[in-house]
């Protein structure tokens, strides 16, 4: 790479790093899934390497958290820094792909627009596996492109390796090596008369690379679950989703106690990691929450989710301006032979996951994110094409709009396009982040009140304790890192049953907040301080500026 090219991309990456550090200002606490990744990683760093293993939560991101926490003492900051670093690696990969497909100019523009796209930059400061998953997935795509063009077995092997790391970040990561193999097989059959024997070799080597690095975890999952499967996460999510379509089951079963008050399916799955208890028909839990997922349920799920992808997914993800620019960059001019190969290759990964993978799995905006960086290659090309159109339009109308010495048509065209993209996309997206507040009563906002409650418990209790809560942020800030000992609130209306479950789980403290009262109206009397149970003693109460009340009750066994 020439010096000036290196300095250009290095400057963008450095500026992107600073931009992401600025985004940290708008985080105040971790919550929900973030807590599990963080606790697994810090457990591995503080207790032992085996602590990052869990059949539901994939290990790669926790391992990276453990490594970074050896350098950064603040575990939460270490977890965020993992994603910041990996997000910048993603930018570099997109830059290299765009430079190969188009030009240095478009590559730098793709890197620039991706680096400073507010929602993507902000997501890179979350404590979730998506950013790491995105980066290693992009690396697999990049290596796959080089493997096909260079007929390189080494690059094909790296496709498998990076796909394995993607799988170890999120189980659906296996699709990278499968799509690559599918593309190679398709090319082989299209050119069957030429018998390109290197293509089957590329497929075999990529699969070998995948299995070498994924087999240890596959064996672990098999031993934990008693069956060969990609992960417990995949199986559990399919089970829970199937409750929505099963005629003899209720979706609330996953949040409700079993008849014996000993098992809560969400705890069994997400925390204890005991799949057999969850689905075994000989157990109370299995009879109440397990579903035989047949072809009928699968088809119903796919059709409904496919509709959601087109109604709630892509239109929200690609708003007007980005969609227009991506479409223009992709279809604004006829493809050359080389562009045809590149565009078709990249589209295979996007279309497969968005229109096959997600409908078969679950529709969530987070699940569209890993393919988003690829769109910035076409978005950058669209910006260049649109600027050219505006420039030529201005020149063709010089009679009405004369060119001035210090304001050339080209400068005016760039200004118009910049105002368009900034005004319709970047500034509104940035505004969403800048208006975030530390004290926010919205359900999914960062629960700073639970951070405060957890820190109070850490200071005012002795020895290991067990907490019953909805958001496990309170567990983390209380210093509790064992995910398997986590206990959640059921939605059952009979509080005596909830208390029986808490006693069975040897819970010491119940932490309740008004934030989740829409899901748990059965607990409202606790925050209203109308408890009459002699086993529960109010030891903490707090009202934050957003009007969220939090209480802690000590449960005597």
DSSP letters, 505-535, are: TT--EEEEEGGGTTT-GGGHHHHTT----TT
Report the length, in residues, of the chain: 557
Judge whether 145 and 33 are in contact, CB under 8 Å. Answer: no
In the prediction, which pLDDT does 302 show? 87
**Does residue 281 form part of some domain?**
yes
**Rounded distance, CA 317 to CA 314, Å?**
5
For helices 320-331 and 372-396, give the axis angle rounded to 10 degrees: 80
Same domain for 258 and 129?
Answer: no
Q: Which residues of 158-196 are buried (b: 16+ CB within 10 A; e: fewer)?
A: bbbbbbbbbbbbbbbbbbbbebbbebbeebbeeeeeeeb
Which of residues 391 and 106 earns the better pLDDT score?
A: 106
In a domain, 382, yes or no: no
How would residue 195 be classed by pLDDT, with cut points 50, 70 and 90? low
* Mean pLDDT confidence for 321-340: 94
Point out the least confidently predicted range of 136-145, 269-278, 404-413. 404-413
Across the beta sheet with 487-488, what order do the strands follow?
Answer: 487-488, 467-469, 509-513, 549-555, 536-543
The range of the structural domain enclosing residue 86 comes to 3-222
Minimum mean pLDDT range among 232-236, 295-299, 414-418: 295-299
Percent of the chain with pLDDT over 90: 73
Contacts of 115 (CB under 8 A, 6+ apart): 12, 13, 15, 16, 19, 88, 91, 121
Average pLDDT of the residues in 162-185: 97
Same domain, 156 and 275: no
Residue of 257, 319, 333 lying closest to 288 (CA atoms): 257
Query: What was the pLDDT predicted at 291?
Result: 62
Which of residues 222, 244, 273 is at a domain's end?
A: 222
Output the pLDDT for position 488: 97
Report the distance separating Cα 314 and Cα 473, nearest Å: 31
pLDDT at 433 over 80: yes
Kindly state whether residue 391 falls inside one of the protein's structural domains: no
The pLDDT, as a whole number, for residue 320 is 87
Contact between 257 and 490 (Cβ < 8 Å): yes
Tell me the pLDDT band of 280, cut-offs 50, 70 and 90.
low
The whole-chain average pLDDT of the chain stands at 91
Considering the domain architecture, whether residues 100 and 182 belong to the same structural domain is answered as yes
Q: Could you tell me whether strands 509-513 and 536-543 are parallel, antiparallel, or unpaired per DSSP bridges?
A: unpaired
Bridge partners for 554 per DSSP: 509, 537
- 67 and 208 inside one domain: yes
User: What is the C-alpha to C-alpha distance for residues 461 and 71, in angstroms, rounded to an integer?
Assistant: 29
490 occurs within a structural domain: yes
In a domain, 436, yes or no: no
Q: Could you tell me the pTM of the whole model?
A: 0.94
Tokens, residue 320: 């007007």
Task: Of 129, 130, 161, 145, give the one whose Cα is nearest residue 93.
Answer: 145
Share of the chain above pLDDT 70, in %: 93
Alpha carbons 486 and 469: distance in angstroms, whole number: 8
**In the chain, how many domains are there?**
3
Q: How would residue 287 be classed by pLDDT, with cut points 50, 70 and 90?
A: low
Same domain, 40 and 159: yes
Domain end (from 163, 194, 222): 222
Question: Is residue 380 one of the residues assigned to a domain?
Answer: no
Mean pLDDT is highest, among 63-67, 99-103, 299-303, for 63-67
Tell me: do 120 and 177 sit in the same domain.
yes
pLDDT at 276 over 90: no
pLDDT at position 40: 97
pLDDT at residue 477 greater than cutoff 80: yes
Q: Is residue 46 domain-resident?
A: yes
């Amino acid at each position: 790479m020439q010096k000036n090219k290196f300095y250009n991309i290095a400057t963008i990456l450095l500026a992107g790093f600073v931009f992401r550090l600025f985004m940290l200002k708008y985080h105040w606490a971790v919550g929900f899934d973030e807590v599990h990744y963080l606790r697994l990683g810090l457990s591995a760093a503080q207790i032992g390497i085996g602590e990052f293993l869990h059949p539901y939560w994939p290990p790669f991101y926790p391992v990276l958290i453990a490594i970074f926490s050896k350098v950064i003492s603040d575990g939460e900051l270490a977890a965020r820094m993992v994603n910041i670093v990996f997000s910048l690696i993603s930018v570099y990969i997109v830059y290299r792909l765009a430079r190969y497909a188009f030009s240095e100019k478009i590559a730098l523009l793709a890197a620039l627009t991706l680096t400073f796209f507010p929602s993507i930059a902000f997501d890179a400061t979350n404590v979730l596996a998506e950013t790491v998953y995105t980066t290693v997935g992009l690396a697999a795509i990049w290596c796959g492109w080089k493997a096909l063009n260079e007929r390189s077995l080494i690059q094909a092997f790296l496709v498998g390796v990076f796909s394995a790391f993607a799988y170890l970040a999120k189980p659906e990561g296996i699709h990278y090596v499968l799509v690559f193999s599918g593309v190679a097989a398709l090319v082989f059959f299209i050119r069957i008369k030429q018998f390109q024997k290197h293509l089957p070799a590329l497929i075999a080597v990529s699969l070998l690379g995948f299995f070498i690095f994924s087999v240890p975890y596959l064996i672990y999952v098999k031993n934990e679950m008693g069956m060969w499967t990609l992960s417990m996460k995949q199986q559990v999510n399919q089970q829970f989703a199937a409750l929505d379509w099963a005629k003899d089951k209720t979706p609330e079963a996953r949040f409700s106690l079993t008849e014996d008050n000993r098992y809560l399916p969400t705890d069994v799955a997400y925390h204890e990691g005991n799949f057999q208890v969850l689905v075994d028909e000989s157990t109370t839990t299995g009879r109440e929450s397990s579903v035989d997922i047949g072809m009928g349920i699968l088809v119903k799920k796919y059709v409904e989710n496919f509709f959601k992808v087109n109604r709630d997914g892509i239109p929200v993800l690609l708003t007007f301006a980005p969609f227009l620019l991506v479409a223009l960059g992709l279809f604004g001019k006829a493809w050359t032979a080389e562009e045809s190969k590149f565009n078709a290759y990249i589209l295979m990964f996007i279309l497969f996951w968005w229109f096959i993978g997600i409908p078969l799995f679950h529709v969530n905006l987070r699940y569209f994110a890993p393919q988003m960086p690829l769109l910035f290659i076409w978005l950058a090309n669209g910006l260049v094409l649109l600027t050219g159109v505006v420039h030529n339009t201005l020149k063709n109308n010089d009679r009405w709009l004369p060119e001035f010495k210090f304001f050339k048509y080209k400068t005016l065209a760039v200004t118009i396009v910049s105002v368009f993209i900034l005004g319709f996309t970047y500034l509104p997206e940035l505004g969403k982040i800048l208006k975030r507040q530390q004290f926010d009563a919205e359900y999914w906002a960062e629960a700073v009140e639970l951070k405060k409650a957890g820190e109070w418990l850490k200071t005012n209790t002795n020895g290991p304790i067990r907490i019953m809560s909805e958001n496990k942020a309170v567990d983390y800030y209380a210093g509790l890192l064992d995910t398997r000992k986590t206990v959640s609130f059921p939605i059952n209306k009979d509080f005596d049953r909830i208390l029986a479950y808490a006693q069975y789980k040897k819970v010491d403290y119940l932490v309740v907040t008004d934030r989740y009262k829409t899901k748990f109206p059965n607990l409202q009397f606790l925050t209203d301080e109308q408890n009459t149970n002699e086993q529960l003693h109010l030891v903490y109460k707090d009202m934050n500026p957003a009007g969220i009340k939090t209480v802690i009750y000590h449960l005597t066994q």
